[in-house]
């Protein structure tokens, strides 16, 4: 019986780790997406300002 409990604990710990890893990967992906968007905005704003000044 103690072996079954030990196996269940290991499975539970593994599930917790994979959930934590999944959340960290998702957060990293969101952060990277926002960072790319910030670079695009940083590049686009001066172009838009020049185009607006020309009109």
Which tokens hold the place of 34?
Answer: 């926002």
Which tokens hold the place of 48?
Answer: 């838009």
Segment 3-45, tens digit of pLDDT:
566 767 666 666 666 878 889 999 999 999 999 999 999 999 9
Q: Where are the domains of the chain?
A: 1-55
CB atoms within 10 A of CB 44: 10
Please give the pLDDT value at position 11: 64
> CA-to-CA distance for 13 and 2, rounded, in angstroms?
16
pTM assigned to the model: 0.56
């Amino acid at each position: 019986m103690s072996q079954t409990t030990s196996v269940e604990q290991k499975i539970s710990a593994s599930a917790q780790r994979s959930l934590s890893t999944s959340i960290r990967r998702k957060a990293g992906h969101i952060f990277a997406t926002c960072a790319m968007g910030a670079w695009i905005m940083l590049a686009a704003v001066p172009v838009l300002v020049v185009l607006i000044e020309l009109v």
